Amino acid sequence: MLEYFVQQLINGLTLGSIYGLIAIGYTMVYGIIGMINFAHGDIFMVGSFIALATFLILTSVFGFVFLPVVLLIVLIIAMLFTSAWGWTVERFAYRPLRGSFRLAPLITAIGMSIVLQNFVQVTQGARVKPLPPQIQGGVTLMEGSTENGTILVQLSYMQMIIIFTTLVLMAGFTLLISRTSLGRAQRACEQDRKMAALLGVNVDRTISLTFVMGAALAAVAGLMFLLLYGVIDFYIGFLAGVKAFTAAVLGGIGSLPGAMLGGLAIGLIEVFWSAYFTVEYKDVAAFSILAIVLIFLPSGLLGKPEVEKV
């Protein structure tokens, strides 16, 4: 039915928006230093836990009750602390290995992922951490009737916030990359880091800021995930990270619009497969679509073929 299809479309766009925000972090780091930051998914997980802890402290300890102000403070604190995590990971785990053979940073990234997972598991416990629904209600877009009853197509306020926030951040980052001095430095480092350094670009600072920006986006995604689903645990970073990395590759790794497009595609594939077929094979469907796309478009949907410098 049309109403059922539209509802799943809304759900898929919401989930895909979260994947897209995480995927931007992958694609920004790869675009500049050519390295896959496999710890980025766990940075997203850390952002979720920081957001939850901040929310509970503000509401339970300090007694804040006005939700918009509470969520704004939670978002700012989560972005600051998660950005600090991102900077620390780059500074102490990746920068010393930047000039080594290509396999070393990959192994380090996997090691950092394990460290972050186990750190959160030890400090917060292995059980899921719940958060009661904070933003409820929505608008009814369509209404249909079936033999089993009435079907309502609803767009919740939480889904509106996620989609709107994603669009604003995507537009903001696109302008930042294309119109600011930091964006020019990032594009210069992407093309040739040695030449950019010779022309006065602070390569180390540019790469560190790229990690910080990606971590800040992961914190936003972590807060949205927490508010949407209401439960988190130490393992959500691995699952979301794999999906976001898949989205970045599907869209064309190195392309910001491609990362968002890939995130939306993965979200829609998962939701529609779960709705019309079986939820057990939704991951198989997503990775199968990825394989099919890469067979015909090796650079992804919006990626550019990599030119070998000689």
φ, ψ for residue 145, nearest 5 deg: -120, 140
pTM of the model: 0.92
Name the one residue in this structure whose structure tokens are 């901040």.
54
- How long a stretch of residues is the chain? 310
Classify residue 46 by burial, with Cβ atoms within 10 Å: 0-12, 13-18, 19+.
buried
DSSP secondary structure letter of residue 192: -
DSSP secondary structure letter of residue 36: -
CA distance 112 to 107: 9
CA distance 148 to 132: 30
CA distance 179 to 168: 16
Question: Integer distance in angstroms from the first to the last C-alpha of the chain?
Answer: 56
DSSP secondary structure letter of residue 134: -
According to DSSP, the β-strands at 231-232 and 129-130 are antiparallel
Nearest alpha carbon to residue 115 among 136, 107, 133: 107
Residues 248 and 258 sit within 8 Å (Cβ to Cβ) = yes
Hey, where are the domains in the chain? 2-167+203-296
Q: Is 82 helix (H, G, I), strand (E, B) or coil?
A: helix
Q: Which CATH architecture has domain 2-167+203-296?
A: Orthogonal Bundle (1.10)
CA distance 98 to 254: 18
pLDDT per residue of the chain (310 residues) written in tens, 0 to 9: 788 899 999 999 999 999 999 999 898 888 887 778 889 999 999 999 999 999 999 999 998 889 999 999 999 999 999 999 999 999 988 888 887 777 888 889 889 999 999 999 999 998 999 999 899 999 988 887 776 777 888 999 999 999 999 999 988 988 988 889 999 999 899 888 899 999 999 999 999 999 999 999 999 999 999 999 999 999 999 889 988 999 999 998 888 889 999 999 999 999 999 998 888 888 888 888 888 888 888 888 887 766 555 5
Q: Which residues in 73-83 are b (16+ Cβ under 10 Å) and which e? A: bbbebbbebbb
Tokens read off for 270: 């998962």
